[in-house]
Structure 1
């Protein structure tokens, strides 16, 4: 089974997500860097790895059809609590109240309501 490889990118300095119309980014898989600029011109390429945070698309959708990314916060109506999507031990997990569940198994039970950067209060945390 294959899945779409997609990331959303958060600018840690400006504290917001970068949209496609603002910047073209490239992954340097050999060196593990995120680059910005015109790849045809070496003098325009800037390594922005320390400035950005990549959050991977899980390949899954919540019960409303929304894409689920790392760092998303979901509401689980069965357990009546919020949880967060993480990647750990080679798979995506949904963690809530010190419990980790395989995201694949519960994706249809959760509704994405925010993310850990913009909505930390959903998990009882303070805003960044």
Structure 2
């Protein structure tokens, strides 16, 4: 296969890898909000110390799973670019997936946390 059959292969690979990294950044942002720590007052007002409790924040888990699926989609995009030359307009969709991944990750962290 000649180089003219697969134009701009290094550029397409680099672009695909950047999109994967953007999605993984979105997953990291979403995953950073999973753990939720709260403190409860002492029992019966005994004057003791507040107890620390941890739980998970459901929307952050859902956002992390969603963004990881987006990252897997971008990995498929990378493989497609390695094997053949996809239509150029598909790059718009791949870039939109990466942007949505960041938006989902940030949105999950901006949701109000429950109060205990």
TM (norm. structure 2) is 0.25
Larger Rg: 2
TM (norm. structure 1) is 0.23
Question: Which structure would you say has the larger RCO, counting Cα contacts within 8 Å and 6 or more residues apart?
Answer: 2
The structure that is strand-richer by fraction is 1
The structure that is helix-richer by fraction is 2
